[in-house]
Structure 1
C-alpha cells in the first residue's frame, strides 16, 4: 500500500493541466489502484492512497500524472506494509 503526496511546486500552471490531472485520477480509481484521493490542507497539493501495485508500478503511474510531468507538483511516495487494520480495511493486508 502506498501513500502518495503531491506537493504544489508551481501553482500558476495547475489550471492548464487540471483536466488532464483529474482524468489521470479517474483512471486510477477505474483501474482499482486508488482508494482515496483528496486535498492537502490548506491548499498545499493532494494525497492519494493506492494499493495492489508494486513500487515500480506506482512510480511509473505517478510519473504519468500531468501535474508531476509538467512540474506543477512534486510527488513523495511512502510504502506501508499494513500489519494491523480495522476490520473494514482488512483487504489491505492481503
Structure 2
C-alpha cells in the first residue's frame, strides 16, 4: 500500500491542468489502484491512498500525473506494510 502526497510547488498553474489531473485520478480509481484521494488542508495539495500495484508501477503512475509532469506539485510516495487494520479494510493486508 502507498500513501502519496502531492504538495503544491506552483499552485497558480493548477487551474490550467486541473481537468487532466482529474482524468488521471479517475483512471487510478477505474484501474482499482486508488482507494482514497483528497485535499491536504489548508490548500496545501492532495493525498492519495493506493494499492494493487508495485512500487515501480506507482512511481510510473505518479510521474504521469499532469500536475507532477508540469511541476504544479511535488510528489512523495511512502510505502506502507499494513500490520493491523479495521476488519472492513482487511483486504489491504493481502
TM range (shorter): over 0.9
CA RMSD of the aligned region, Å?
0.3
Separation (CA, whole Å) in 2 of partners of 1:71 and 1:93: 33
Runs of 4+ that moved beyond 2 A: none
Separation (CA, whole Å) in 2 of partners of 1:52 and 1:11: 30
Separation (CA, whole Å) in 2 of partners of 1:85 and 1:71: 35
The equivalent of 1:64 in structure 2 is 64
**Number of residue pairs matched by the alignment:** 94
Q: Which runs of 5+ in 2 are unaligned?
A: none
Matches within 5 A, 1:23-38: 23-38=23-38
Separation (CA, whole Å) in 1 of partners of 2:88 and 2:13: 38
Q: Which runs of 5+ in 1 are unaligned?
A: none
